[in-house]
């Protein structure tokens, strides 16, 4: 029997989710209204909402990366990469899509998925515009590719960082346990997008020829700043490998790197306009509202009830629970953004580790990682990379509706979860 607070929290969440699917409504306002409704109805206190549920490390990491990429964009590097990629693929849009999908998946394993889409998405849009085709297949495939590739390592996806910290799992643990299945998932994903988009990505030969005639070197406007920016970006990636050693949050380093690049390019940057134009404020406030919204659902105890129900289905059987967790966490992460969802699941698995033994529960941690990271592809709001990609695409004049993303994301998610559940079943039992 649900209590009054549970009914209110669930009603607000369900209403918000329904409104998210309506492309005519502003998703940022929906998320903010939903989040602050949780505070107004005393489901969660304002102090707790902002101190415990809004992940400020994620928020400022996003801001730092947006500012870094904003500076790098002024050098012409992304235009160079775009044209170079298109020329290598000989202007064939299907080849370009697959190449960028594979590149995104690879980079996301070492350069977290949000950072990767911030870099790759503008490139995709540039190429599509030059070819005279819709960039949506590119944007969607790369968002999904970033989530798949990011699952492979400790630093590839924020949920993995949270899981690794809670379960004391190292970078090599993630590589050993998750990378093999993710290689399969990536190859399957490439085949999936080839089948679904090959007939839509047809261009006239003169457009291909036009691409091949471009001199990509002419796109570089400031070679010195470009090299300096690449060095800073590489150092940031290196830091991510040794983050635990330095005991400094990634957000702090991202902001510091952004400030260094802004100071380096201070003659060409008008700070007020730069902050206004380069930071995806819609995405930032969407995250804040979403964190509070999910925090209210968690505070009301609804997520705990769902999780306990999933565990009760198997009567403590770890093998069955692992498979159910892949699907249960995967589906839930598509509905609820995977970062706050994982945050609510970690205490549950910690309790199970105490009761059943840490070693026995280890497969459940990998199930959580696979389910939450891959399940985030299920809907537009399931993963941070999806939201950021959609925000960049909208800003460029190509909005992606909730259902446009979801109809592709849901299919690939079901395929990925099926592969993952088979992998977990035979790998650990």
Query: pLDDT tens-digit profile of 145-200?
Result: 999 999 998 878 878 878 887 788 887 889 899 999 999 999 999 999 999 998 88
For residues 266 and 71, give the distance between their C-alpha atoms in angstroms, rounded to a whole number: 10
* C-alpha to C-alpha distances, 279 to 69, 93, 238, 285, nearest whole angstrom: 10, 29, 24, 11
Highest mean pLDDT among 22-31, 217-226, 298-307: 217-226
> What percentage of the chain has pLDDT greater than the value 90?
34
Predicted local distance difference test score (pLDDT) of residue 310: 63
Mean pLDDT score of the chain, rounded to an integer? 86
**Higher pLDDT, residue 155 or 5:** 5
Predicted local distance difference test score (pLDDT) of residue 35: 93
Q: At 21, is the pLDDT very low, low, confident or very high (cuts 50, 70, 90)?
A: low
Helix, strand or coil for residue 300?
A: coil
> What residue spans define the domains of the chain?
9-18+27-40+47-428
**Higher pLDDT, residue 85 or 420:** 420
238 has a pLDDT exceeding 70: yes
Q: Please provide the DSSP assignment of 326-369 as one string.
A: HHHHHHHHHHS-HHHHHHHHHHHHHHHHHHH-HHHHHHHHHHHH
Predicted local distance difference test score (pLDDT) of residue 244: 67
> What percentage of the chain has pLDDT greater than the value 70?
96
Token code pair at residue 414: 């079901």
23 has a pLDDT exceeding 70: no
Predicted local distance difference test score (pLDDT) of residue 424: 95
Work out the average pLDDT over 202-230.
82
Helix, strand or coil for residue 25?
A: coil
Work out the average pLDDT over 275-302.
85
Entry pTM: 0.76
Q: Please provide the DSSP assignment of 119-177 as one string.
A: HHHHHHHHHHHHHTS-SHHHHHHHHHHHHHHHTTSTTSSHHHHHHHHHHT--HHHHHHH
Predicted local distance difference test score (pLDDT) of residue 58: 77
Token code pair at residue 47: 């102090």
Q: At 234, is the pLDDT very low, low, confident or very high (cuts 50, 70, 90)?
A: confident
Token code pair at residue 392: 């960049």
Measured torsion, CA atoms of residues 391, 401, 412, 341, in degrees rounded to the nearest 10 = 60
Predicted local distance difference test score (pLDDT) of residue 307: 67
Inter-residue contact 268 to 39 (CB < 8 Å): no
Work out the average pLDDT over 354-373.
85
For residues 190 and 171, give the distance between their C-alpha atoms in angstroms, rounded to a whole number: 26
Predicted local distance difference test score (pLDDT) of residue 55: 79
**Higher pLDDT, residue 243 or 106:** 106
Q: At 111, is the pLDDT very low, low, confident or very high (cuts 50, 70, 90)?
A: confident
Ranges 177-186, 210-219, 325-334: which has the least confidence: 210-219
């Amino acid at each position: 029997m649900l209590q009054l607070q549970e009914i209110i929290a669930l009603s607000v969440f369900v209403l918000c989710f329904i409104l998210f699917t309506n492309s005519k409504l502003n998703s940022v306002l929906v998320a903010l209204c939903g989040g602050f409704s949780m505070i107004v109805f005393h489901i969660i206190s304002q102090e707790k909402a902002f101190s415990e549920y809004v992940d400020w490390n994620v928020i400022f990491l996003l801001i730092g990366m947006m500012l870094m990429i904003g500076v790098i964009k002024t050098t012409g590097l992304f235009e160079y990469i775009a044209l170079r990629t298109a020329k290598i693929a000989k202007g064939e849009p299907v080849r370009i899509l697959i190449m960028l999908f594979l590149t995104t998946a690879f980079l996301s394993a070492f350069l977290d998925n949000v950072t990767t889409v911030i870099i790759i998405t503008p490139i995709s849009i540039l190429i599509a515009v030059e070819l005279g085709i819709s960039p949506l297949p590119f944007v969607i495939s790369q968002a999904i590719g970033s989530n798949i590739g990011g699952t492979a390592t400790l630093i590839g996806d924020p949920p993995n960082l949270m899981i690794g910290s809670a379960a004391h799992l190292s970078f090599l643990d993630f590589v050993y346990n998750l990378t093999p299945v993710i290689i399969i998932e990536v190859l399957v994903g490439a085949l999936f997008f080839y089948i679904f988009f090959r007939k839509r990505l047809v261009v006239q030969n003169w457009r291909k020829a036009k691409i091949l005639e471009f001199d990509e070197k002419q796109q570089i406007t400031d070679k010195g700043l470009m090299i300096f920016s690449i060095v800073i970006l590489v150092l940031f990636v290196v830091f991510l490998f040794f983050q635990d050693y330095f005991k400094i949050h990634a957000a702090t380093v991202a902001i510091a790197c952004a400030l260094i690049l802004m100071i380096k390019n201070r003659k060409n940057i008008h700070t007020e306009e730069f902050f206004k134009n380069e930071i995806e404020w819609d995405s930032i406030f969407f995250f804040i509202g979403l964190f509070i919204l999910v925090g209210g659902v968690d505070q009301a105890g609804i997520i705990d009830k769902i999780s306990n129900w999933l565990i009760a289905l198997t009567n403590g059987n770890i093998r069955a629970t692992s498979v159910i967790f892949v699907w249960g966490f995967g589906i839930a992460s598509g509905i609820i953004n995977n970062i706050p969802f994982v945050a609510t699941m970690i205490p549950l698995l910690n309790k199970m580790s105490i009761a059943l033994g840490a070693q026995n529960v280890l497969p459940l941690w990998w199930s959580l990682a696979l389910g939450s990271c891959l399940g985030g592809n299920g809907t537009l709001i399931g993963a941070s990379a999806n939201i950021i990609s959609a925000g960049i695409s909208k800003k460029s004049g190509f909005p992606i509706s909730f259902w446009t993303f979801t109809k592709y994301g849901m299919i690939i998610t079901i395929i990925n979860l099926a592969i993952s559940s088979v992998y977990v079943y035979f790998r650990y039992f």
